[in-house]
A = this chain, B = another copy of it.
Amino acid sequence: MINLVILGAGNVATHLAKAFSNAENITLKQVYNHRPESLIPFKSFVTTTTDINQLEKADIYLIALKDDVISEVAGLLKDNAALILHTSGSVPLKTLERFENHGVFYPVQTFSKKKEVNFREIPISLEANSAKNLEVLKELAEKISNNIYEIDSEQRKALHLAAVYVNNFTNHLYSLGAEICNKNEIPFDILKPLMRETVDKLESLTPREAQTGPALRNDKQTISRHLAMLEPKRQELYKTLTQSIQEFYGKEL
């Protein structure tokens, strides 16, 4: 039986608390957050506290807080025998090095409080300061997910960068697609099956193999027609993306 305390009440903490409270051989003992109103949704299934000096004794303290307060909140923890973890994609392991036992438990997913997730499918990237602690981390992760990866701090930095491309930047392209639809009174829903298929294709093809479109074909007529349809402030990104595709495939511009 693993006794667990979660620090944080945001999107990641919410989904982790739900997943761990339903997991076998885990006791989620407590959720801590300094703002009492953030703890209200947790009260139905777990003990909560706003006082970091009143934390329950546990085997693992999981810090699911914003990157810039992880170090500060970790500094307030007094249990030096426990395993101390954070859940951040971009904070290095060594931020927790003052603890004898420390690690990273990073779920590679975007969370919204309102949207249910199936944690079993969410990849969890793990790192620890010792082989022994890594084993504990794996045991913990396996309680809620079937997708466990061992990733060191350097790799995690790269993974976080790659996630910016496939999530943040991609979402911005969706925004620009939706903007074009709105201006032309086209329902954005018409594009959603295409957006899903763009991801689903990568089950059988690499993205390099899956690329299509006017940039790859160097179809100058279509590219010019598209640029003419865009406001000047949107043209630069269209051009830069087109050039990046052509450079990626070693094409002449």
Residue of B with least CB distance to A219: B67
How many residues on chain A are close to B (CB under 8 Å)?
Answer: 86
A61 CA / B204 CA spacing, docked (Å) = 33
Chain B hits for A123, CB < 8 A: 189-190, 193
A117 CA / B198 CA spacing, docked (Å) = 13
Q: Does A115 interact with chain B (Cβ within 8 Å)?
A: yes
Stretch in A24-32, A49-57, A134-142, A180-188 with 4+ CB within 8 Å of B: A180-188
> How many monomers of this chain does the complex have?
2
Residue of B with least CB distance to A185: B155
A185 CA / B161 CA spacing, docked (Å) = 14
Chain B hits for A161, CB < 8 A: 180, 226, 229-230
CB distance from A232 to the nearest CB of B (A): 12
A137 CA / B9 CA spacing, docked (Å) = 53
Known: A154-B184, A180-B158, A184-B158. A194 touches B244 (CB 8 A): no
B165 engages A173 (CB within 8 Å): yes
Residue of B with least CB distance to A118: B193
Chain B hits for A234, CB < 8 A: 244
Chain B hits for A73, CB < 8 A: none
Q: Does A46 interact with chain B (Cβ within 8 Å)?
A: no
Known: A162-B181, A162-B186, A207-B178. A198 touches B229 (CB 8 A): no
Q: Which 5 A-B pairs have the closest CB atoms?
A: A168-B213, A174-B207, A158-B184, A162-B177, A175-B207
Q: Which residues of A contact B (CB under 8 A)?
A: 90, 108-110, 112, 114-115, 117, 121-123, 125, 147, 149, 151, 154-155, 157-159, 161-178, 180-181, 183-199, 201-202, 204-208, 210-216, 222, 225-226, 229-230, 233-234, 236-237, 240-241, 244-245, 247-248
